[in-house]
């Protein structure tokens, strides 16, 4: 789901503010960003049991492939005022990064390797019950 953020713009430029339980629909426990990507290299290839995230491409562009075990969707992120909400139990792949891409990620949980599902067949078994 795409969330369109409120842009505070004036003659000086633009400003976007993101707050938990408001533009970001969860408590923000962690922020990280991905940059310096090689265009031909994809990342991600996992889902999470519990984690929710909002992805914002604050500079440049990239594509995100989402898969809930039934449907897949490809989302192009290329606007700093758009956030992509990824709920739990969604397989994601990130690719086609422009050289200048900076992908900001707001996360609902601290980093926890035990929350990762890195095996696609295991993911399918989990979502299909
Ligand atoms: P990785 O999960 O491989 O990134 P991606 O999902 O983009 O493919 O993470 C790369 C490395 O960074 C890995 O060693 C784990 C570490 N890492 C943290 O320490 N904290 C974090 O919040 C994240 C997302 C990754």
Residues 5-29: tens digit of each pLDDT: 999 999 999 999 999 999 999 999 9
Q: What is the pTM of this model?
A: 0.96
Alpha carbon of 9 to ligand 1 centroid (Å): 33
Q: pLDDT digits over 61-80, tens only?
A: 999 999 999 999 999 999 99
Please give the C-alpha separations between residue 65 and each of 34, 48, 77, in angstroms, as whole numbers.
16, 15, 11
Would the CB of 63 count as within 6 Å of ligand 1? Answer: no
49 lines ligand 1 (CB under 6 A): no
Pairing type for strands 13-16 and 43-48 reads: unpaired
Residue nearest to atom 21 of ligand 1 (CA): 111
Q: Give DSSP secondary structure letters for the chain.
A: -EEEPPEEEETTEEEE---BTTTBSS---EEEEEES--TT--EEEEEESS--EEEEEEES-EEEEEE-SS-EEEEEE--TTEEEEE-SS-EEEEE---TT-EEEEEESS---GGGEE--HHHHHHHHT-
Among all residues, which ones are annotated catalytic?
A: 46
**44 CA from centroid of ligand 1 (Å):** 9
- Ligand 1 atom nearest 107 alpha carbon: 22
Q: If pLDDT is split at 50, 70 and 90, which confidence band does 92 have? A: very high
Overall average pLDDT of the 82-106 stretch:
98
């Amino acid at each position: 789901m795409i969330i369109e953020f409120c842009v505070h713009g004036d003659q000086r430029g633009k400003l976007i503010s993101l707050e938990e339980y408001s533009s970001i629909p969860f408590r923000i426990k962690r922020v990280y960003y991905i940059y310096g990507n090689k265009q031909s290299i994809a990342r991600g290839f996992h889902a999470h049991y519990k984690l929710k995230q909002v992805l914002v491409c604050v500079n440049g562009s990239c594509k995100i492939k989402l898969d809930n075990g039934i449907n897949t969707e490809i989302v192009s992120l290329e606007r700093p005022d758009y956030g992509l909400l990824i709920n739990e139990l969604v397989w994601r792949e990130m690719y086609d990064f422009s050289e200048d891409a900076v992908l900001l990620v707001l996360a609902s949980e601290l980093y926890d390797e035990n929350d990762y599902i890195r095996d696609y067949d295991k993911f399918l078994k989990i979502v299909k019950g």
